[in-house]
Amino acid sequence: MAAMVVKTPSTIDELLACMKDADENTYYISGGTDFMIKLRKNRIYSGTIIDLKGIPALRYIKKENGIIRIGGNTTFTEIVGNKIMQKHAACVVQAASQIGSTQIRNAATIGGNVANAFAGADSIPALMVLDAKVVVLKSDGESYEKDMDGIVLGAGQNSLGHDEVIVEIQIPVLDEGYRTAFAKIGSRSRVTIAKLNMAAVVKCRGDGSTIEEARIVLGALGPKAFRSGKAEEVLVGRTISKDLCMAFQNALTAQVDESIASRSSWAYKREAVKGLADEVFDKLFQDVLTGGRA
């Protein structure tokens, strides 16, 4: 059996050269926080590890022509502390700030989290709800864009070929009037893997009282995150109120019933989702509910 090899490109050109020989035993790593556990647990002793993290050109956050571009190597610590993200992608910042611990966020990257395609990943619903696009680089130097739903196939599966790497995440900047939020529930309040998570984008009418548009994405409810039409329907055209929050909770319980009724976690999640709904609703509309915009 061939021994393990680690390739350490520091530029895109060097990366392309490494990708040319890629096969089913090639492992691309960025932060490595998920991979290092798999390497040991799955007893991987041969193959090629290509370390993307040593490529500084894949580490950036910039806003250009109404799009936020995030390099695949950008860490969650960098996302949490970034002013562009705080201003235009609050739900991604909220998700990033709740991923793992400080040590994990210092290492783990957004490209890695998407590629890992874990069902309970926190960045995935937050990016999906913002209609983020993923830019994939191929070994021939060409690249293509795909939406999150096309990349994340579910339960640890992504659509990427052996010679394809996520290099950038693109988030369209929302107009004024949109609000976003993310929340999660795990077995404890911090440093926890989501049992359920949710990201929301809503657009309110000018005076902030009525919801004109809503996108709700649920994660950790089945193999991959998805939009909940049931939860969106109940919000659109309605006035923001405590009653609406209850209707939102009930719609989400109905969504859990539809999605995972045969699972052992069903009884828990159909109740727990109400607490999650309450938190998301509060984050979205706290200022409206308490009177006066913040």
Partner 1 sequence: MELDMIVNEVEYHLDIDPRLRLLDVLRDYLKLTGTKEGCGEGECGACTVIMDDLAVNSCLVLAHQARGKRIITIEALEKDGELDSLQKAFIDHGAVQCGYCTPGMLMSCKALLIKNPNPTEEEIRIAIEGNLCRCTGYTKIIRAVQEAAAQK
Tell me which residues in 164-193 interact with partner 1 (CB under 8 A): 190-191
Binding status of residue 15 toward partner 1 by CB under 8 A: no
Binding status of residue 11 toward partner 1 by CB under 8 A: no
CB of 39 to partner 1, least distance (A): 7
Give me 288's structure tokens: 């409206």
Binding status of residue 59 toward partner 1 by CB under 8 A: no
Closest residue by Cα to residue 251 from 274, 223, 218, 284: 274
Q: Which range binds partner 1 by CB under 8 A, 39-47, 128-136, 149-157, 217-225?
A: 39-47
- Exactly one of 5, 17, 236, 267 binds partner 1 (CB under 8 A); that residue is 5
Distance of alpha carbon 21 from alpha carbon 162, whole angstroms = 9
Closest residue by Cα to residue 182 from 141, 133, 123, 244: 123
Give me 239's structure tokens: 């006035």
Binding status of residue 51 toward partner 1 by CB under 8 A: yes
CB count, 10 Å around CB of 266?
Answer: 15
Binding status of residue 14 toward partner 1 by CB under 8 A: no
- Exactly one of 12, 104, 174, 272 binds partner 1 (CB under 8 A); that residue is 104
Binding status of residue 39 toward partner 1 by CB under 8 A: yes
Task: Write each residue from 105 to 134 as x if it is in contact with partner 1 (CB under 8 A), else as -, in one continuous string.
Answer: -xx---------------------------
Binding status of residue 57 toward partner 1 by CB under 8 A: no
Binding status of residue 250 toward partner 1 by CB under 8 A: no
**CA 107 vs CA 20, 100, 101, 103, 201: distances in Å:** 27, 10, 10, 7, 28
Rounding to the nearest 10 degrees, give the CA dihedral for residues 122, 123, 126, 131: -140
Quick one: how many helices (H) and strands (E) in the chain?
Answer: 12, 14
Size of the site for partner 1 (CB under 8 A): 29
Q: Which residues pair with 136 in a beta bridge?
A: 144, 166
In the bound state with partner 1, the residue whose beta carbon lies nearer, of 103 and 239, is: 103
DSSP string, 265-287: THHHHHHHHHHHHHHHHHHHHHH
Distance of alpha carbon 171 from alpha carbon 148, whole angstroms = 11
Q: Which range binds partner 1 by CB under 8 A, 34-42, 166-174, 203-211, 255-263?
A: 34-42
Binding status of residue 42 toward partner 1 by CB under 8 A: no
Residues that bind partner 1 (CB under 8 A): 3-6, 8, 29, 32-33, 35-37, 39-40, 44-45, 49, 51, 53-54, 77, 100-104, 106-107, 190-191
